Amino acid sequence: MTEKDEAIMGRRSFLKHAAALAIASTSFGQICAWGQTNGDAPLRERAARKGLIYGSAVNYGALTRDTKLAASVVRECGIVVPENELKWEALRPSLDKFDFTQGDFILDFAKKNNILLRGHTLVWHQALPKWFETTVNSQNAEQVLRNHITTAAGHYAGKMHSWDVVNEAIAPWDKDKQSDGMRNSPWYKLLGPKYIDIAFKAAAAADPKAILVLNQDHLEHDTKIDAQSRAATLRLLKRLKASATPVHALGIESHLSMDGEIFSPGVFRTFLKDVAELGLKIMITELDVTDIMFSQNINKRDKLVANKYEEFLSTALQEKAVIGVLTWGLSDKYTWLSKYMPRDDKAAVRPLPLDENFNRKPAWNAIAGAFDKAENR
Ligand code: XIL
């Protein structure tokens, strides 16, 4: 046991008493107050105490330009995932070329700072390079897919904690969807549903150590679409398990919205249990909370966002199969939602744990509190 481990173990028994005190108090506010006075510990450490991993998506451009961002990632994150740098568009300048420059920079940054790395994503319907449409056809699709996975997953073999092998394969809301709820993606059109099996088998052969993940959106809310998505995802996972396809975990993206999308803890909890019963691990892979429907008042907005984090994570972490949580970015300064879900009033969006100056927000306290309350893995 290292000195650091010992320190953590010592803190753990202290935390048990603190947790008992927190439970004795009734309001979440008091737990937060405790967290603020005693718990300066970063999220990665609070997660690690429970056998969990916390981290965030990182972006090459921001990471190389902004030393404050880099320092915050080092402080808070036990795992990072390149936001765009390992997608086909970034990795594949042409059919016969791979460019690992940006991915390798992030791997190096992670290694130097004792941070785990996860890969995103080997197969997706988006972020395909321009040459894809004119070059890939039903004759060569399987070989092109295998070659991509063998080379990309092979390049990082032994260095990846996990890979999102297939991303967003289910889309029951699509006009073009298949009867089984599968998205009619370019890969589905070229190869049919077996593209998923091909991808997982190729990934397992290229990197036998990585946790292989099926990553999916629209699984969290108590809506008709999300219910269809959950059912289709479970069907797909059962099919993959039955055919011994090497899938190890489900990634639940968790881009949470509050716009009429109700979160029902019981519904979500049941889904997590169903997934766990298939013998799979679960990762929360892209958590963020949009604040577009709230008033400009920053204090109010931050509080509502934090409440959503608290409600969601306290439910998710009840399931022991959940092994890690990643937010889709760390600071509000760099969030995809600035572009993809801007506010009508043009005020900056605030969906992440740190504000634009890298200060901890109520959302950070909520995540810290959820880790503090989680049972050990
Ligand atoms: C997003 C990135 O954050 C953006 O920078 C990019 O322009 C588009 O993709 N689900 C996913 C992620 O699986 O890859 C997406 O990331 C967000 C939604």
Site to probe by mutation for ligand 1, drawn from 56, 58, 83, 285 as the one with most ligand atoms within 8 Å of Cβ, is 83
DSSP states of 215-260 as a string? Answer: EESS-SSSSHHHHHHHHHHHHHHHHHHHTT----EEEE--EE--SS
For 73, how many CA atoms within 13 A lie in the half-sphere containing its CB? Answer: 32
Over residues 191-210, the mean pLDDT reads 98
Give the pair of three-digit tokens for residue 171: 């889309």
More confident residue, 269 or 13: 269
pLDDT at 176: 81
> Rounded distance, CA 138 to CA 151, Å?
21
Alpha helices in 243-361 (DSSP H): 265-276, 298-316, 337-340
CB-ligand 1 contact for 336 (6 Å cutoff): yes
From the number of C-beta atoms within 10 Å of its C-beta (0-12, 13-18, 19+), residue 94 rates as exposed
> Above 70 in pLDDT, residue 189?
yes
Taking only the tens place, the pLDDT of each residue in 338-363 is: 999 999 999 999 999 999 999 999 99
At 177, the pLDDT band (50, 70, 90 cuts) reads: confident
> Rounded distance, CA 66 to CA 343, Å?
25
pLDDT at 109: 98
> Above 80 in pLDDT, residue 317?
yes
Taking alpha carbons only, the member of 208, 189, 105, 205 closest to residue 149 is 205
Element (H, E) at 78: none
> Rounded distance, CA 101 to CA 90, Å?
10
pLDDT at 17: 35
Taking only the tens place, the pLDDT of each residue in 98-117 is: 999 999 999 999 999 999 99
Q: Which residues pair with 58 in a beta bridge?
A: 82
> Rounded distance, CA 260 to CA 292, Å?
12
> Rounded distance, CA 54 to CA 79, Å?
6
Catalytic (active site) residue 168: yes
Give me the catalytic one of 45, 76, 83, 286: 286
Over residues 3-8, the mean pLDDT reads 35
> Above 80 in pLDDT, residue 269?
yes
Q: pTM of this prediction?
A: 0.90
Element (H, E) at 114: none
Which CATH number applies to 6-28+41-373?
3.20.20.80
Asked if 47 contacts 40 with a C-beta cutoff of 8 angstroms, the reply is no
Give me the catalytic one of 85, 168, 253, 310: 168
Question: What's the chain's average pLDDT?
Answer: 91
Distance from residue 303's CA to the centre of ligand 1 (Å): 25
> Above 70 in pLDDT, residue 14?
no
The residue count for the chain: 377
> Rounded distance, CA 57 to CA 331, Å?
10
Distance from residue 336's CA to the centre of ligand 1 (Å): 7
Distance of CA 143 to the CA centre of its chain: 29
Taking alpha carbons only, the member of 128, 206, 216, 212 closest to residue 163 is 212
Q: Spell out a b/e string for 185-213, using b for 16 or more CB atoms within 10 Å of the CB, else e.
A: bbbbebbeeebbbbbbbbbbebbeebbbb
Taking only the tens place, the pLDDT of each residue in 270-300 is: 999 999 999 999 999 999 999 999 888 999 9
Taking only the tens place, the pLDDT of each residue in 214-263 is: 999 999 999 999 999 999 999 999 999 999 999 999 999 999 987 778 99
Over residues 49-64, the mean pLDDT reads 98
Q: CA distances (Å), 361 to each of 42, 257, 301, in order? A: 13, 18, 11
pLDDT at 94: 98
Share of residues in the chain with pLDDT > 90 (%): 85
The full set of domain ranges for the chain reads 6-28+41-373
